[in-house]
Structure 1
Amino acid sequence: MTHPYTSSPTPEAAAAPITRFRDEHRFLSNFWFVPGGVTVAGLTGRTTEHVFQALKSGTPAEQAQILAAPTPGEAKILGGPAHRGGIITELRPDWDAIKLGVMARLQAAKYAVPELAQLLLATGDAELVEGNHWCDTFWGTCTCRSGHDGEGQNWLGRILMIQRSVLRA
């Protein structure tokens, strides 16, 4: 017996991937200022970057200093290694085991803001890729001059796509 259709359904054209979190897609960045701030694990910051960096430390004084940073870039520096200006005396011993969960909770809190949720949903089915040039091959993909050539695990992009799916559900 022949199949009743003369041809297979034509899939819709796939949306172009979003490969940089800037310009009209800047809101996808962890550096985006969240209206009303974002709270996870009892810490509130102006951006997801502030809270993420603060949660690396188990010391309330260090957390407060990071959360008070005037910009997300400064929060990132404070949460980084001491030789680059970081202030964390000791990284939480469980950090590697929880950092993906922390980022997922931060994105859920960020996109609980209705206007940000609408922006994320408006990305449709586009693949979200946190493209960068600063050699971050864990959270994104790197196109730096060190020869990474688009390499990376893109965990931030993956978490954002999961959050988009959660918002649709």
Structure 2
Amino acid sequence: MYDGQHDLPIDEFTAEFYWLSNFSPAPIDYEGELYMTVENAFQAAKTSDHRARALIRDCGPDEAKMRGLHVPLRPDWEQCRVAVMEDLLDAKFAIPALRRRLIATGDRPIINRNVFGDTFWGLCRDQGRNELGEAIMRVRNRIQAR
């Protein structure tokens, strides 16, 4: 029986789609260090300061995000941040169980909707670039093409 669910966008990374969130557990190797979430690895990638990276590596994703606001940014960060995110997502969705879940989303649009004003990585009040959702869909397209 057709329920129409498979045509709807995925626009919340909560409940059944929490696994899409960068805060969900997914061990990621970034430059030889193990991070427990994409969020931790991404925040660490912002800086070349090894001490700051260690502090970000060893906390939860909420704290990593907060700590990432206060690190000295690497000089090329603005130019490379989307590519870094996509590389981390490639690593996350190389995990077989997560890869299967991502493939199962078919071609549904993936939107990182938020209420805290992030219009670069997501959409807030239907405004924004949705760079995270776009990156996840590019990773999915590459996996599906294999």
Equivalent of 1:46 in 27, 36, 59: 36
SS at match of 2:11: coil
Q: Can you give the 5+ residue segments of structure 1 that lack an aligned partner in the other structure?
A: 1-12, 81-85, 143-148
- Relative distance call for 1:24 and 1:101 in structure 2 (3 A) is same
Give the aligned residue type for 1:92: R
Q: Deviations over 1:13-48 (max 9, x none)?
A: 9711011111101111000101xx101333320000
Identity level (%): 38
Aligned to 1:27: 19
Q: How do 1:111-150 residues align onto structure 2 when only pairs under 5 Å count?
A: 111-142=93-124, 149-150=125-126
Which one has a larger percent helix, Structure 1 or Structure 2?
2
Alignment equivalent of 1:160, drawn from 136, 139, 143? 136
Aligned length: 141
Find the aligned partners of 2:87 and 2:32 in 1 and give their Cα distance: 12
- Alignment RMSD: 1.3
Indicate the structure (1 or 2) with the bigger Cα radius of gyration.
1
- Secondary structure of the structure 2 residue equivalent to 1:44: strand
Query: Unaligned regions of 5+ residues in structure 2, if any?
Result: none
The match for 1:8 is none
C-alpha separation in 1, matches of 2:31 and 2:127: 32
1:17 to 9, 27, 34: 9
Q: Give the TM-score normalised by the residue count of structure 1.
A: 0.80
Cα distance between partner residues in 1 of 2:122 and 2:23: 14
Is the Cα contact below 8 Å between 1:15 and 1:124 reproduced in 2?
Answer: no
* Matching of residue 93 in structure 1 with residue 71 in structure 2: no
Q: Distance in 1 between matches of 2:33 and 2:39?
A: 12
